[in-house]
Amino acid sequence: MPYLFTSESVSEGHPDKVADQISDALIDQFLAFDPDSKVACETLVTTGQVILAGEVKSKAYLDVQKIARDVINRIGYTKGDYMFDGNSCGVLSAIHEQSPDINQGVERQEKQEQGAGDQGMMFGYATVETDNYMPLALDIAHALLIELAAIRREGTEIKYLRPDAKSQVTLEYDDNNQPQRIDAIVISTQHDDFDEDEAMLAKIREDIIGILIPRVKARYEKYAHFFNNEIKYHINPTGKFVIGGPHGDTGLTGRKIIVDTYGGKGAHGGGAFSGKDPSKVDRSAAYATRHIAKNLVAAGVCSEVLVQVSYAIGVAQPMGIYVNTYGTGKVGLHDGEIAQKVEQIFDMRPYAIETRFKLRNPIYSETAAYGHFGKPSQTVTKTFVSPEGREVKAEVELFTWEKLDYVDQVKQAFGL
């Protein structure tokens, strides 16, 4: 029987995402000047105020106020009318030194024996639904807001947009778990004040359907026919949305973990990513399991897969690896047998993960909005300046866990 499945996304101007981006900007700055930094940094944003808290062990000294302000201005909160802007908001830092009790469980004389920074379980997922092996509903939800932000920055076609926005996409699937159509799209976007509310709502609806949707449709050649006149649109369904961002709703690091991952597909271990250095397996092992899942699907082992890994704090070897192919396996093996082969192919010790994906580089700001997965790996040059004026230029590879660099090894192991 056909069924509906929904995923949501939020824009870079959503208050929780503002917090994530500040936390990850701090991570990048610490790693740029001291790659061995241990950081767990949380951010709270509200009307006119940013509060930073967390634990750090690092040789680097940062101007955390400037970092936070730069992020806020880059997002687009640059006007007093927003009741939150990068030039005038207060920034309070309550960052302190990392507990030595935690650190002793992580660091080892032999780096290969580095222990996990915490206990817990992490999940990775991949599917053939899209070219980037992401769930289609989430991929479209992200695309809607990426294009909306691009339109806002261009400032030519839609001039009244403000940074805060949310999207939601509902797909219909058939009995074979294949997407058949878009049932509904929800867009809520912050906007400048209008003289008349009814005219405002009509104008926003017209622009979203007439300008935004065609730009998103152009991204999906395979699914272009899904973008038809049968879609149910809910555009700013509550009406006026002038008050938004951190003034409209307090934002906290780590509150959008489903948006960050797979939009509710697969599973989630519960640990957030942003603000954590790669010794925290909440982040690094989630990246590693995504890499496993994507390479398994790309190699043809299955059409859809969920991979779980779990750890004990201070212990290098994972407690175990679990694989669920949802009955889509193509290699004549049970999921438990596939998991055994995965353990032989992929070294899941924390230090091996850090080195395999080059995670001690300043690569995290780009992950903090529109998802940590499904983006292409690319090499960029980034420049960082310390409070004393020291400049560091770093050539770094982004989204290394999205590479299909283990496909040949997987095929060989499974006889494909």
**Domain span at residue 407?**
120-128+281-414
- β-partners of residue 213 are none
> What is the number of structural domains in the chain?
2
Last residue of a domain, which of 197, 219, 244?
Answer: 244
256 annotated to a ligand binding site: yes
What is the pLDDT, as a whole number, of residue 81? 87
- Judge whether 410 lies within some domain: yes
- Judge whether 54 lies within some domain: no
164 annotated to a ligand binding site: yes
Phi and psi of 301, rounded to 5°? -65, -35
207 annotated to a ligand binding site: no
372 annotated to a ligand binding site: no
What is the pLDDT, as a whole number, of residue 104? 53
Shared domain check, 209 and 311: no
Amino acid (one-letter) located at 243: I
Nearest by Cα to 145 from 203, 190, 210: 190
Strands (E), 174-303: 179-191, 232-235, 251-252
CATH of the domain at 359: 3.30.300.10
Q: Which two tokens stand for residue 195?
A: 């003289």
What is the pLDDT, as a whole number, of residue 230? 96
165 annotated to a ligand binding site: yes
> In the chain, which stretches have pLDDT less than 70?
98-113
> CB neighbours of 307 closer than 8 A, spacing ≥ 6?
123, 124, 125, 289, 292, 293, 296, 321, 322, 323, 342
Give kind and range of the element (H or E) at residue 75: helix 64-75
98 annotated to a ligand binding site: yes
- Judge whether 275 lies within some domain: no
Neighbours of 156 (CB within 10 A): 7
Shared domain check, 398 and 308: yes
Shared domain check, 287 and 221: no
Shared domain check, 342 and 227: no
- Judge whether 274 lies within some domain: no
154 annotated to a ligand binding site: no
Last residue of a domain, which of 186, 216, 244?
Answer: 244
What is the pLDDT, as a whole number, of residue 197? 84
What is the pLDDT, as a whole number, of residue 190? 95
- Judge whether 47 lies within some domain: no
14 annotated to a ligand binding site: yes
276 annotated to a ligand binding site: yes
| Residue with token string 């955390």 | 64
The tens digit of pLDDT for each residue in 282-322 reads: 999 999 999 999 999 999 999 999 999 999 998 889 999 99
- Judge whether 393 lies within some domain: yes
- Judge whether 251 lies within some domain: no
232 annotated to a ligand binding site: no
Shared domain check, 385 and 303: yes
Shared domain check, 239 and 165: yes
The pTM assigned to this predicted structure is 0.95
293 annotated to a ligand binding site: no
Shared domain check, 174 and 146: yes
Neighbours of 208 (CB within 10 A): 20
| Residue with token string 């290098």 | 316
Last residue of a domain, which of 218, 244, 270?
Answer: 244
What is the pLDDT, as a whole number, of residue 347? 96
Shared domain check, 306 and 212: no
Strands (E), 28-73: 38-46, 49-57
Shared domain check, 124 and 150: no
Amino acid (one-letter) located at 118: D
Using DSSP's 3-state secondary structure scheme, residue 411 falls into helix
255 annotated to a ligand binding site: yes
Shared domain check, 346 and 229: no
| Residue with token string 């997987």 | 410
337 annotated to a ligand binding site: no
Shared domain check, 376 and 305: yes
Shared domain check, 394 and 296: yes
- Judge whether 142 lies within some domain: yes
354 annotated to a ligand binding site: no
Contact yes or no for 143/135 (Cβ under 8 A): no
166 annotated to a ligand binding site: yes
Cite the DSSP H helix spans in 87-231: 100-106, 136-154, 197-207, 213-217
